[in-house]
Structures are given as structure tokens and as C-alpha cells.
Amino acid sequence: MSTFDIDAFRAQFRSLPRLVYLNSGSYGLLADSVAQAFKDYLDLRMRRGADWGAWVGELEAVRAGMARLLEVEADDVAITASASAGLNALASAIDFGGARNRILVTDADFPTGAQIWHAQERAGAQVIHVPENADHMVSADAVTALIDERTALVALSHVCYRHGARLPDEAIRRICDVAHAHGALVMLDSYQVVGTRPIRPRDLNVDILVGGMLKYLLGTGGIGFLYVRPGLIDRLVPRTSGWFAQADIDAMNIFANDPSRTARRFEAGTPPVPSLAPARAGIDLVMETGLDAIEAQIRQVTRHALDGLAAEGIRYDNPTDDARRGPLISIPTHDQHALVAALAGRDIVTSNRDGRLRAGFHAYNNEADADAFVAALVANRGLLA
């Protein structure tokens, strides 16, 4: 395996080193190749006005890229307008009118996911929440204890968006084993981790994996993906649809809904055309860099930051165990907006959620970034909880 050249990787992001960019959990930094993909799309629009052949080609390139990244088949991947769009399509394919109407949602979930499942209550769904423990972790025991023959789906978050705790792979597999033994599905939201480490949904045994391209996949907004396990696709027929969800998108049949025999049935109408080329460029950059190299760099730089925080006596909420944390570092504060603004004044870009400052690290972050982050927190210690 070739050695990761962080200086060469950082050179592809023009915002560096002017910014210390620690906001990848909200929106990944713009790489030159992604910026060029935006420009190429606009140039094409100016030259030709419309080029559906090229745009459909980009759609399939994004699908193929996600399939390579997840080590699955392209036919198992839907390209959606957002993670929410994929989840809504999935929810519309589940019948909540019978005895199997329960959805388990953990308190680590992103609000949108939980809101979508609560929206199904009007269709007969019963949503049950699984609380986090005192260490901000979701226990596999707590989840499996609630799974029974009434459970339709278990919704999990791979990494919590608030504090960065990661559900370990072995916990995911155990939950899947119990859920499948009871006839339930498992959906894993990977948005806060995909692009930072290898994720193989087939190895995890999850039924559905959802995410998007604007964070660690280094793409842009307005585009997401939904993986559906082979063999399950035929059982799930969404009540949402559109011409790109059809078996033949050129049929233009107004007299019937004929869903694709692949995961494309979870798509809808016109794909997110302006987002396709940037998303493809972001996926390409991640794959060219290598997920193993990205994971190793993030682990090293976040460990350096955690060591610096510990040396300064600054509390953080995310786990220290590498197997139980993602790329986010979470700092409790009594004024999250003021702390984010104070760091922004030093050209350190972060975000905040739930009374915490969030620092989302990527492979373009180095130890100097981590040191600047720690020094800024020391300088603003009065805002820390």
C-alpha cells in the first residue's frame, strides 16, 4: 500500500491552509476536481442547453462509483435527491397496517430520519425510541431487547451527528442477526461516516444503507444514495415513484406504474442533474486517495487532537476508543454559537449541535490543524462547559 501524502492531498483544496476546516460533518471542503466538475456542467449547459445523454451517463457514473465504494453491485444502489428522499421512498414501501408495524429508532439518530418514521404513524406505524446510555452510546442489548415479531424495521445511525459516537461493526451485526431472526429489516444511516473508512453493507448484513455526498464524500448537496440488499428489492415496492423509477425510463407510460427491478425503483423523477458531476468527482477523489489511507489519517489526527485536549484539561463528549468513535470531536459548551463564532474569527471553521461544538476531521486535516483547534479552545476556555 502506498504511503499517504497529506501535503499532496491538501494541495487539492484551495481553501487550505488559509482555513482550518473542521466542518466536514456539515459540508466537505471543496476540492479543485469537484469545482472543475461544477464548471464543466455549466459549460455544457451554455454550449448545448440540454444533453440528457451526458446527464444520464453521469447518473450511472455516480451509481457505479457508490457501488465500488460500498463493494456492492450497481443495481443495488439508488441515487436520490437526498438521504431523506431515499428514506421516504423506503417508508412508502412498508405496510404498517398489520401486526408488524413497529419502528425502532435510536436516540442517536439524525432528526430527519426519526421525523420520517414518526410521519408514518398516520399510516399505522408505532415508533419506539431506544435511549443512549450514560456514555452517549447505543447499546446493542438495548436495541435487541425491543425487537420482536411486531418489529418492521430497526433504524440505526452509524455515527451520531451530535457527538460522534460510532456504533461498532460487531454491534450492528448482532442487531441484524436478532432483527432478521424476527423477520425485521435493519436500516443503517451512514451519512456521518461514509467516505472516512471502508463500509461494506454486505459484511455488516444490513438491509438498507443510506447517506449522501455533501459531507465526507466531498461532493455537493442535493444528492444522496440508498443501498438495498439483493433479494429484498422485489419485496419493497415504494408508493412514491417517477419516470426514473420505472423499469424503462423511455416508456413514458401514463397508464401504469412499472417499477424497476433494481434499486432504481427507489428513485423518482428528474435526477439531481447539477449535483451529479460534482458528486462523481468527490467519489472519485475519495476512491483514488483510498479509504484505508483516509481512515488512518483521520484516526491519527483526531487522536492527536484528543491528546491535546486531555493535556489542557478540556472535556470532550465523544468516545476515545477508535472502534467507538467517528471523525467528529464534540466539545460541551454553555454557548455553542459564541464558541463557533470565536473560532471562526481565527479562521477555524466548525459547527454546533445540541450544546456542543463539533469538529469534523477529514484526511485533509493535519496535526497543525489539530493544534490550532486546541489552542483556540484554550483561548476561549470561558465558553467551555
Q: How remote is the C-alpha of 188 from its chain's centroid?
A: 10
Q: How far is CA 306 from CA 19, 68, 214, 278, 321, in A?
A: 20, 32, 26, 33, 11
Question: Domain containing 319 — which CATH number?
Answer: 3.90.1150.10
Same-domain check for residues 156 and 303: no
SS3 147: coil
Q: Residue 213 and residue 218: Cα distance in Å, rounded?
A: 6
Alpha-carbon dihedral angle through residues 34, 269, 189, 366, given to the nearest 10 degrees = 10
Tell me what percent of the residues of the chain surpass a pLDDT of 70: 99
| Residue 16: domain span | 6-30+290-383
Same-domain check for residues 189 and 278: yes
Same-domain check for residues 189 and 334: no
Same-domain check for residues 42 and 97: yes
Domain presence at residue 219: yes
What pLDDT is attached to residue 1? 44
> pLDDT digits over 127-139, tens only?
999 999 988 889 9
Per-residue pLDDT averaged across 362-381, rounded? 98
Same-domain check for residues 248 and 296: no
Q: Which residues contact 380 (CB under 8 A, 6 or more apart)?
A: 339, 342, 343
Same-domain check for residues 161 and 263: yes
Domain presence at residue 26: yes
Confidence of residue 2 (pLDDT cuts 50, 70, 90): low
Phi–psi pair at 130, nearest 5 degrees: -105, 115
What's the structural domain count of the chain?
2
> pLDDT digits over 278-336, tens only?
999 999 999 999 999 999 999 999 999 999 999 999 999 999 999 899 999 999 999 99
Alpha-carbon dihedral angle through residues 270, 271, 274, 280, given to the nearest 10 degrees = -160
Question: Domain containing 51 — which CATH number?
Answer: 3.40.640.10
- Tell me what the pLDDT averaged over the chain comes to: 97
Same-domain check for residues 121 and 159: yes
Burial letters for 305-332: b for 16+ Cβ neighbours within 10 Å, e otherwise? bbebbeeeebebbbbeeeebbbbbbbbb
Same-domain check for residues 215 and 236: yes
Residues forming beta bridges with residue 259, ordered by sequence position: 246
> pLDDT digits over 209-219, tens only?
999 999 999 99
Domain presence at residue 1: no
